Structure 1
Amino acid sequence: MTNVEPAGTRRLGTLLTWRVATIASGWLMLLFVGAYLITPASILPLVMADLGTTEAVSAALVSMPQVTATVVGIPVGMYLDRVETRTVVPAAAAVLFLGSAGDWVAASGGDVWLLVASRLFAGAGMFVLWVVSINIASSAFPPDRRATATSVTISGYPAGYALGQFGAPRIAEVVGWPGVFPVFGGAVVVLSLAFYVAAGNVSRFDRSPEPPSLADFKRVFADRNVWMIVVVTLLGYSLYMMFNSWMPTYITRRFGVSLAESGTFVALFPLVGVFARPVGGWLSDAVLGQRRRPVFAVAFLGTTVLAVAMFYSTTIAVLVSMLVLAGVFVQLQIGLMYQFAQESVHPSAAGTAVSLASVAGWLGSFVAPVVAGKLVATTGTYAAVFGFAIGLGAMGVVTVWQMAESGVATVPA
């Protein structure tokens, strides 16, 4: 007797396959976006030697795409809410690739200002890919799995930082350091096409049949919970980047190890986000019944306690262990930030909400390291950095206490 698989079962299996393909291609796309963004940092000595720039100027090249994202983020998010987001993916990837090709031309010719301009140009494509990947990953799954899907997708970004730090110097040995930019940019284009195809075969949940009206946009900017998640994202990324930026120098001066060794230790801090971000989403969806606030609270509270422990650590082994654990805690919430933002508004304005949170995150990434540096310069001690971290964590806990829950499972029927 022949067993015939029911058509419904086959259809569900096919849909699941395309959902997995959407998440996988989105993850890989963000992997190479992250690798492209971090490339100047990973080949900094080569950049400085060939361009004749200072360490500060060369390192600033890393932040140029994020500068563009901060400036154009909110209007771009509002535009994305008015179009079919999937259709802009290849175009956004093309913008990033053109920027990476401009990087190659500028770096090969030793033109620092053209390199700055091309990195700024690529930032527009980077931002669109970031927002769209979050929006599609979330809407491709039912509500009880959205935080997990979003968190898994964006975990490709810190993995991309690791890929860039590891791979860029090796690729530079083959194609020269200017050629590294279009290598990663080209990979983004290829993966964007895969993401475009996969997302086109997935049914999307909670999609509004009409674009948002002006009143819908006004409600986003008037929503208290949206501004609460903006503050949470600002504080969370401030903590994340402050440890990333200042711990290599602190470890070097505190324990006398080389900057290369301390950099290797600190690289573990963002790398653990590859599993910490998905775990945070899974905990919220599967364990906490789609409640988001407990994960935010644990993330800030845990990071605050660990900042105190790091300050009093007397051996490098203990300090690095605490730092890695802090990397886990602070990144548990990162995927949830964007899911929370979407859940706080009407589905038609989800892109705007994600853009607001994203701009806040990048703003915190810029400002917190600068403030920490000023504190060190003013006080002459790194105790000020840890005090600042503790203050940010405490503010995060207080903010979370003031938030309303966004998860749909907590909304009464």
Structure 2
Amino acid sequence: MMNARAIDSWAPDDPAFWQSRGKLIAHRNLWISVPNLLVAFGVWTIWSVVVVLLPPAGFGYSTTELFLLAAMPGLSGAVLRLAYGLVATRVEGRRLTMITTLALLVPAVGLGVAVQDPQTPYPVMLLLAGLCGLGAGSFASSMTSLTLLFPRWELGSALGLNSGMGNLGVSMAQFLVPIVVTLSVFGALAGAPQTVELRGDAQLLWLQNAGFVWVPAILLCALFARFGMHEVPFPPAREAGVSVYAQRRYWVLSLMYLGTFGSFIGFTAAFPLFAHTQFPEIDVLQYVFLGPLFGALARPLGGWLADRYGGGPVTFWAFALMGSSVLVSMNFLPGSATAGSFWGVMAAFMVLFLAAGLGSGSMFRIVPDLIEGERPEPAPRRSIRESGQVIGLVSAVGALGAFAVPVLLALALGTSGGVHGALTMFVLFYLVCMALTWWCHVRTRSDPDW
């Protein structure tokens, strides 16, 4: 029997087709993709909160081991983004969205079971943390699928909305998880609570809810994808050109995205535990969600500014602001002669998240310029396979920030007992990114032949 959601022909770059039929279908699929991606980002980042709550729940892990748990979803997520970006060029979007969303049940349920027993082996916890990287992979497949649905003149807005709303899932996870673990959301069905001591007060925690709370949303989003999205045919493949992996400009672009989005997602993963180690007397989980929230909301603004002033200049100044905010934060950290200021560090990192969001948004203005080559003549619609490779590569390298930032902070704490060394490395990295951005995308205005 023919699938009612299958479409025989698809020509979004034809204005008549777009207005008569394509626009409604594309936007319907976009608004189903958004909640699926939001849930995926939430599952990807739940360990950033869970690691703060594991020691009170009886898990005797060292600070380094906790940072590694927070970092594992970033490492696996980078690999999965590369793979998912390639798969999305061969599997239609509706089926892939449903499958990738249902796959999130494995880490969500696994986490809910594992945290109920403090004797759960550490390698098992590492495996479950790594499986949360499935949420990161969904980004590459979702963005690649959308490149097929929208015409060139609306593609930037669609990708910006999809990625920006997806980033809100990070903030949602850091806001939601600290609340649901204090409530018996699922009753006896989810298991017994743990009695823990937090800042001198004994209280009950249902730590398993950090994973179980995502299960209903995962199932609902998968159902919407299955019965609401469409199967759109792939365009004919063009003759193979030079692989995107062999082109220098895409690797430089990936390094820049590591600086912008990598900082956003990296400090999302690390900041709760980082702030807790520096200011243990503060209930940091009440406030840490604000950083990812600012970053996610700033992302569309970064795209708008890039449309007005160019992606290169906006990204350049975003890096400058990020480096400055890290330098400022170092002045508020506790030391041998001072107790430090949590609010000073918090304010500095809010600026960093804001700048990272701006830079992530402006980066997506640079990407289409490079793909289309900024040729004066009308460029043909690019192969979906090439777009998938670019998105997969850039987003995969960017996702490595979720691994690199927690690991570098853990190494600094383990070797010197402080984080100044790691923060100094971040500042130097932002200076390198500023230089690359100026040379490749400010000086030459994104000339693809630099």
TM bucket (normalised to shorter chain) is 0.7 to 0.9
User: Is contact 2:298-2:357 (8 Å) kept?
Assistant: yes
> Does the CA contact (< 8 Å) of 2:315 and 2:359 recur in 1?
yes
How far residue 229 of structure 1 moved from its aligned partner, in angstroms, is 0.9
| Aligned: 1:117 with 2:127 | yes
Residues 89 and 145 in structure 2, CA contact (< 8 A), matched pair in contact too: no
Say whether the 8 Å CA contact 1:147–1:336 is kept in structure 2.
no
Give the drift of 1:200: 1.9
Instruction: Label 1:105 to 1:361 Cα distance change in 2 as closer, same or farther (>3 A).
Output: same
The corresponding residue for 2:32 is 25
Partner of 1:80: 88
**Does the alignment pair 1:161 with 2:170?**
yes
Higher share of residues assigned helix: 1
In the alignment, what sits opposite 2:253? 229
1:280 to 295, 302, 306: 302
Structure 1 residues 55 and 26: alpha-carbon distance in aligned structure 2, compared to 1, 3 A threshold: farther
**Cα distance in structure 2, aligned partners of 1:292 and 1:385:** 28
- Mapped partners of 1:103, 1:242: distance in 2: 21
Given the superposition, is the C-alpha separation of residues 79 and 196 from structure 1 closer, same or farther in structure 2, using an over 3 Å criterion?
Answer: same
* 2:421 is equivalent to residue 384 of structure 1: yes
| Distance in 2 separating the partners of 1:272 and 1:190 | 27
Q: How does 1:159-198 map to 2 (within 5 A)?
A: 159-172=168-181, 173-174=183-184, 175=186, 176-195=206-225
Alignment of 1:5-404 (within 5 A): 12=19, 15-44=22-51, 47-48=54-55, 52-54=59-61, 56=63, 57=65, 60-108=68-116, 111-112=120-121, 113-121=123-131, 123-124=133-134, 126-172=135-181, 173-174=183-184, 175=186, 176-195=206-225, 199-200=229-230, 208-210=235-237, 215-216=240-241, 218-240=242-264, 243-244=267-268, 258-261=281-284, 263-285=285-307, 287-288=308-309, 291-312=310-331, 319-337=345-363, 340-341=366-367, 344-345=370-371, 346-347=382-383, 348-375=385-412, 382-403=419-440
Distance 1:114 1:342, change over 3 A: farther
8 Å CA contact 1:225, 1:404 repeated in 2: no
d(CA) in 1 for partners of 2:138, 2:227: 15
Residue deviations 1:131-183 (CA, integer Å, cap 9, x gap): 12222344433334433322221223432222222322443422343354243
Amino acid in structure 2 at the alignment position of 1:332: L
Structure 1 stretch 294-303 or stretch 130-139: which is displaced more?
130-139
Structure 1 pair 326–106 and aligned structure 2 pair: CA distance change class (3 A) = closer
Cα drift, residue 225 of structure 1: 1.1
Deviation digits for residues 78-111 of structure 1 (CA, Å, limit 9, x no counterpart):
3332333443111122222234333344445664
Give deviations 1:234-288, integer Å, cap 9, x for gaps. 223454356556666776788x683314x54443222102211111122334x24
User: How far apart in 2 are the matches of 1:376 and 1:64?
Assistant: 18
Q: 1:51 to 1:116 in 2, by over 3 A?
A: farther
1:395 shift after superposition: 0.8
CA distance in 1, matches of 2:273, 2:83: 37
Letter of the 2:77 partner, please give it.
A
- Normalising by the residue count of structure 2, what TM-score does the alignment of the two structures yield? 0.72
CA distance in 1, matches of 2:106, 2:274: 38
Relative distance call for 1:292 and 1:138 in structure 2 (3 A) is farther
* TM-score after normalising by structure 1: 0.77
**CA RMSD after TM alignment:** 3.9
Distance in 2 (CA, whole Å) between partners of 1:357 and 1:258 is 39
- The DSSP-based 3-state class of the residue aligned with 2:159 is helix
**Quick one: which amino acid aligns to residue 281 of structure 2?**
S
Amino acid at match of 1:156: M
User: Could you list the per-position Cα deviations for residues 281-301 of structure 1 after superposition, in whole angstroms to 9, with x for gaps in the alignment?
Assistant: 22334x24xx42222212112
Instruction: Tell me the residue number matched to 2:197.
Output: none
Distance in 2 (alpha carbons) for counterparts of 1:100 and 1:55: 24
CA contact (8 A) 2:51 2:69 kept: no
Asked if 2 retains the 8 angstrom alpha-carbon contact of 1:152 and 1:277, the reply is no
Provide structure 2 residue ranges, at least 5 long, that are not aligned to the other structure: 1-14, 187-205, 333-339, 372-381
- 1:327/1:188 CA distance change after superposition, 3 Å: same
